[in-house]
Amino acid sequence: MRRRSLQHDEQGRLRHLLTIEGLKRAQIVDILDTAESFISVGEQKVRKVPLLRGKTVVNLFFEASTRTLTTFELAAKRLSADVLKININTSATVKGESLLDMLHNLEAMQCDMFVVRHADSGAAHLIARHVAPHVSVINAGDGSHAHPTQALLDMLTIRRRKGEFAPLTVAIVGDIMHSRVARSQIHALTTLGVSELRVVAPKTLIPAAVESLGVHVCHDLDEGLRDADVVIMLRLQKERMQGALLPSEGEYFAHFGLTEERLAVAKPDAIVMHPGPINRGVEIASSVADGPQSVILEQVSNGIAVRMAVMSMTLGRPPADTAEVQAG
């Protein structure tokens, strides 16, 4: 008998979002379509819809965050949910209370969703295995493992700019080894069927056997960028690096930093992406980050719509219809 995915309920609907891995193409497209219907909410005079009125969303961020935390909070509020942010540094966990005890106390307060960001890989899965049946869990980044909503907002940004995924050549450049974003992007892009997916980095920042995920490995930036439709730059995860994996940031930029000259080998209409935060002059030149081919700020805006979609779908709502959203 096939074991049911932790992410889905008995009817096969999305209950948690913990990872992109295992999601079918139709499910990813469903999330993107739902997010598309929420784009207009941010353009309305009253930026709210009533889909999650009466629901309580708890942001549990054990790691520092600005964009992710803010966009999750905005997404929940635009869905009319009540939002609770736990200050981990002053919570009872500092006094010795276990994580699961804290969760069960929050459940007793009739909370409906936990958005979890944690430095340990697998933390969101652990929480999802122990929450009450009515509670949903969204992984907002766990260690070096996964960041599913970041990958989904990246897919929405690509689709809005490029249309179909099938013809595209995509290059992911940077710290593949330590990037949870890269792992989630690779699973999303291969599931959506891009023509070619390249990972570009020095040998010390490429994980073993990454080719098994369906990517082409490049150690030369010009080779990796040549005729690419989409260029995704990654932050150097210095806080997760152990040992001297790079000679220096200056040396890294000299070989793998994205400049206008290097971008010129990609297609003329290539778009440039970065999940943030940006280290200017390390991964990317300011002239590119702020240039006409950059869609970095669009990624941030699209993140709100994607997180609205995931929240509404995991809490048991059907995919949103544009007309219903606007009417709300």
Check if 8 is active-site. no
- Residue 49's closest CA among 81, 20, 82? 81
CB 74 within 8 A of CB 277: no
> Measured between alpha carbons, how far is residue 133 from residues 3, 107, 111, 115, 313 in Å?
17, 10, 12, 16, 15
Q: Cβ contacts of residue 238 below 8 Å, gap of 6+?
A: none
Which residue in 34, 68, 157, 191 is the catalytic one? Answer: 68
280: annotated active-site residue: no
From 8, 13, 56, 67, the catalytic residue: 67
DSSP letter, residue 219: S
Q: Is position 95 annotated as part of the catalytic site?
A: yes
**Which position among 2, 3, 45, 95 bears the catalytic label?**
95
Name the catalytic one among 15, 55, 78, 117.
117
Considering the candidates 16, 55, 125, 147, report the single residue annotated as catalytic: 147
Bridge-based pairing state of the strands 196-200 and 216-218: parallel
123 within 8 A of 142, measured Cβ to Cβ: yes
Is residue 3 annotated as a catalytic residue, yes or no? Answer: no
Report residue 142 as tokens: 């766990």
Collapsed DSSP state (helix, strand, coil) of residue 27: helix
User: Which class for 260: exposed (0-12), middle (13-18), buried (19 or more C-beta within 10 A)?
Assistant: exposed
Q: How far apart are CA 161 and CA 298, in angstroms?
A: 10
Residue 2 annotated as catalytic: no
DSSP 17: B
Q: What is the DSSP letter of 229?
A: S
How far is 179 from 233, CA to CA, in rounded Å? 11
Q: Could you tell me the two tokens for 225?
A: 């960028």
Q: Is omega for the bond preceding 268 within 30 degrees of 0, making it cis?
A: no
> Looking up tokens 């009533």, which residue turns up?
50
Q: DSSP code of 119? A: S
| Active-site annotation, residues | 67-68, 95, 117, 147
